[in-house]
A and B are shown apart, each in its own frame.
Chain A
Amino acid sequence: MLKLRLGRATREAYGEALLELAENNPNIYVVDADIGKSCKTVPFSEKYPNQQINVGIAEQNAADVAAGLATCGIIPFVTTYAIFGSMRMLEQIRQEACYPYLNVKVACSHGGLTPANDGASHQAIEDLGIYRTIPNMTVIAPGDFDSTKALVKAAAEYYGPVYLRFTRDAIPSFYDENSKFEIGKANMIQDGKDITIITTGDVLSQGVEACNELEKEGISVRLLDMHTIKPLDEEAVKKAIKDTKGIITVEDHNKYNGLGSAVAEVVAENDGECHFKRIAIQDHFGESAPYESLLAKNGITAENIVKTAKRML
């Protein structure tokens, strides 16, 4: 049985990771756009005021200021909500971070449906797909508190533009502080031979619960945490096609262009036979509601994963 614990919002893990990174690296900077409080950068800014810039409510400028800093050897974390980080400053990040391959990190809280009460204007359900389309970009959506800390640190060590997506709301914890992560490498949480469940980001816990339920019923599940959706760990997907009878992807993102699409591309180009289903947001906007309720409306639940898996076999 895989065990979940009560967890915290991954934006808090980001704030802690920044502080730990800055202890050994004076080049870690934060570029805020007035939502440092919500994005948990305030402790960093208070401790390292000389490594923080707050440009106010001006996200486009934030992105390009970060690019300018990066040309001087600084590692800037542009910090905002996923909706602004992936859309309001998109062309800036494309032009001045991705195209010239500068070391700019776009670190975003409020990913997916997790700013549940804020409603559709603040729920970024297209961000992963948007950034997946841009050359040179790395796209990471960690699945819990400890994996967020580890992957923020990995992103700081990696040279190049990275999009990081965190949750506003608390999500269950699965990993611990000794868990290891590598950008671009799926984490195999459990091996299995009947079916593969692949999750990205905050819905890892739904994958874990579904996995436990299916195992109880005698179905052997391989569970992959695809925290990096670009570059996608294609080998892990190909292996799943070969080793198991079907793949189910689960994500807190619109059904287009996110994890499901990325995995489907590999499935479609692969000669092996494999059942495939996406569990994702059904191409409509969210609303103000409890997070669990919003996920349930889109079938992003452990129950639906279990049901889908059984139907597949």
Chain B
Amino acid sequence: MRQNNDVDFLTEKAKEIRKTVLTMIHEAKSGHPGGSLSASDIMAALYFDELNIKPENPKWKDRDKFVLSKGHVCPVLYSCLALRGYFPYKEIYTLRKEGSILQGHPDMKVCPGIEISTGSLGQGLSCAVGMAIAGKRLGLKGRVFSLIGDGESQEGQIWEALETASKYKLSNLTVILDKNGIQNDNTVEFIMPVRNMVKKFESFGLETYEINGHNMKEITDAFDKIRVSKYDGPRAIVANTVKGKGVSFMENVVKWHGMAPNDEQYAQAMKEIEGGLSC
């Protein structure tokens, strides 16, 4: 199942992902860097280690499925798909441009490797629950992973989805919370505190692991535990992360939720990531 458990390798991949994220958003002149960068380490671990996928056969029946519920951070997903060879790397320069397979929010009809179109918060997780139910009922071998945000967890539908996941004992489902603490207008704490997400997940019946979402060892350890767990229900990872992680002037700055870097900022950001500020 595992392709590479080497922390250094995955850390290097996370750097490539971050650089690709910044390059595509800079080229597009719009997009969401903050949440893409906070999720980059988790996504590196998923796409270069944990997910059992075949980029050359994206619809392979028994593949693991990944659903990006916080669809606006699709640059990080597109980066992973490009780096895994789902489509030519040069496509990243078409983000948000007319006719592109890389729409402003993921479109399953045009982009290989996208399991479901997302972009309206709170919905992807329910779709992932549907996929996990189908997986159990149809005897599919693949598991389902879904990345949600802490701002997104203000949506009531997240909790509807988790109730269903629990009721149907979806042991093939892992929910990953990218808890970066910032949403569009301000901090999550200021806009609408989501309180203790570990306790909330646990009370909804999820086996929950809390980690530093930028520590590759902790990330892969959590996936290791989840894979062998005998728990008869859904699992959750609460990943404490930093919005804009890896770029000093973006870290924990609200405005970088949805803004593209200019040429100077882009050059500076690429230099910082190359230099290893990220992990």
State A68–B128 Cα separation when bound (angstroms): 6
Specify which chain B residues have a CB less than 8 angstroms from the CB of A68 in the assembled complex: 116, 126-134
Q: Which B residues from 78 to 100 make CB contacts under 8 A with A? A: none
A100 adjacent to B161 (CB under 8 Å): no
Q: 1/0 per residue A38-80: CB within 8 Å of B?
A: 0000000000001101011010110111111111111010000
Measured between C-beta atoms, what is the minimum distance from A87 to chain B in Å? 15
Question: Is A92 positioned at the interface, with any CB of B under 8 Å from its CB?
Answer: yes
**B164 proximal to A (CB < 8 A):** yes
Are B163's CB and A56's CB within 8 A? yes
Q: Which of B115, B132, B137, B163 has the most CB of A within 10 A?
A: B137
Are A92 and B160 in contact (CB-based, < 8 A)?
Answer: no
The answer on a CB contact under 8 Å between B116 and A61 is no
Known interface pairs A68-B130, A71-B130; A100-B160 also in contact (CB < 8 Å) = no
How distant is the Cα of A92 from the Cα of B108 in the complex, in angstroms?
A: 16
> Counting CB contacts under 8 A, is A158 at the interface?
no
Contact of B120 among A50, A72, A95 (CB under 8 A): A95
In the bound assembly, the distance between CA atoms of A312 and B68 in angstroms comes to: 57
Contact status of A65 and B137, CB under 8 A, knowing A71-B127, A72-B131, A100-B117:
no
How far is it, in angstroms, between the C-alpha of A233 and the C-alpha of B230 when the chains are bound? 56
Taking the closest CB of chain B, its distance from the CB of A88, in whole angstroms, is 11
Q: Which residue of B lies closest to A68 (CB)?
A: B130
Binary CB contact string for chain A from 111 to 145 against chain B (1 if under 8 A, 0 otherwise): 00000000000000000000000000000000000
Q: Are A72's CB and B138's CB within 8 A?
A: yes
Question: Are A100 and B107 touching (Cβ within 8 A)?
Answer: yes
B46 at the interface (CB under 8 A from A): no
Q: Which residue of A lies closest to B71 (CB)?
A: A95
In the complex, whether B123 has a CB less than 8 A from a CB of chain A is yes
Shortest B29–chain A CB gap in Å is 25
The reply to whether the CB of B266 lies closer than 8 angstroms to some CB of chain A is: no
Q: Are B160 and A69 in contact (CB under 8 A)?
A: no
B156 CB contacts on chain A under 8 angstroms: 60
A101 at the interface (CB under 8 A from B): yes
Least Cβ–Cβ distance between A73 and chain B, in angstroms: 8
Q: Is there an interface contact between B134 and A60, defined as CB atoms closer than 8 Å? A: no
Binary contact track A134-162/B, C-beta < 8 Å → 1, others 0: 00000000000000000000000000000
* B131→A99 contact, CB < 8 A: no
- CB <8 Å contact, A67 and B127: yes
Contact at B129–A65, with CB atoms within 8 Å? yes
B134 interface neighbour in A58, A63, A69, A100, Cβ under 8 Å: A69
Collect the chain A residues with CB atoms within 8 Å of residue B130's CB: 64-72, 76
| B contacts with A, residue count (CB < 8 A) | 32
Distance (whole angstroms) from the CB of A223 to the closest CB of chain B: 40
- Main DSSP-derived SS at the A contact region: helix
Taken together as a complex, chains A and B put the C-alpha atoms of A74 and B130 apart, in Å, by 10
Contact between B157 and A64, CB atoms less than 8 A apart: yes
Choose from B117, B129, B160, B163 the contact partner of A60 (Cβ within 8 Å): B160
Chain A nearest CB, measured from B11 CB (Å): 33
| A283 touches B (CB below 8 Å) | no
The answer to the question of B135 belonging to the interface, with a C-beta cut-off of 8 Å to chain A, is yes
B258 interface residue per 8 A CB criterion: no
Contacts of B168 in A (CB 8 A): 53
User: With A and B bound together, what is the CA distance between A71 and B134 in angstroms?
Assistant: 9
Report yes or no: A74 in contact with B117, Cβ–Cβ below 8 A.
no
Given A71-B115, A96-B117, A100-B109, are A64 and B126 neighbors across the interface (CB < 8 Å)?
Answer: yes
On whether the beta carbons of A100 and B108 are closer than 8 Å, the reply is yes
Question: How far apart are the CA atoms of A17 and B163 in the complex, in Å?
Answer: 30
Please, which residue of chain B has its CB at the minimum distance from the CB of A51? Answer: B137
* Shortest distance from the beta carbon of B7 to any chain A beta carbon, whole Å: 33
Q: How far is the CB of B34 from the nearest CB of chain A, in Å? A: 23
Q: How far is the CA of A66 from the CA of B132 in the complex (A)?
A: 11
How distant is the Cα of A309 from the Cα of B168 in the complex, in angstroms? 56
- Give the distance to chain B from A64, nearest Cβ to Cβ, in Å: 3
A20 within 8 A of B: no
**Chain B residues within 8 Å of A91, by CB:** 120
Interface string of B98-111 (1 = CB under 8 A from A): 00000000011100
Which positions in B face A, CB cutoff 8 Å? 107-109, 115-120, 122-124, 126-135, 137-138, 140, 156-157, 160-161, 163-164, 168
12 additional contacts, CB 8 Å, given A64-B123, A68-B116, A68-B127? A55-B164, A60-B123, A61-B160, A64-B130, A65-B127, A65-B129, A68-B133, A72-B134, A95-B118, A95-B123, A100-B107, A100-B109
The 5 A-B residue pairs with the shortest CB-CB distance, nearest first, are A68-B130, A64-B126, A61-B160, A72-B134, A58-B160
Q: A interface vs B, CB < 8 Å?
A: 50-51, 53, 55-56, 58, 60-61, 63-74, 76, 91-92, 95-96, 99-101
Task: Name 12 A/B residue pairs within 8 A (Cβ), A-sorted.
Answer: A51-B137, A60-B123, A61-B160, A64-B123, A64-B127, A64-B129, A65-B161, A69-B131, A69-B134, A71-B131, A71-B134, A100-B116
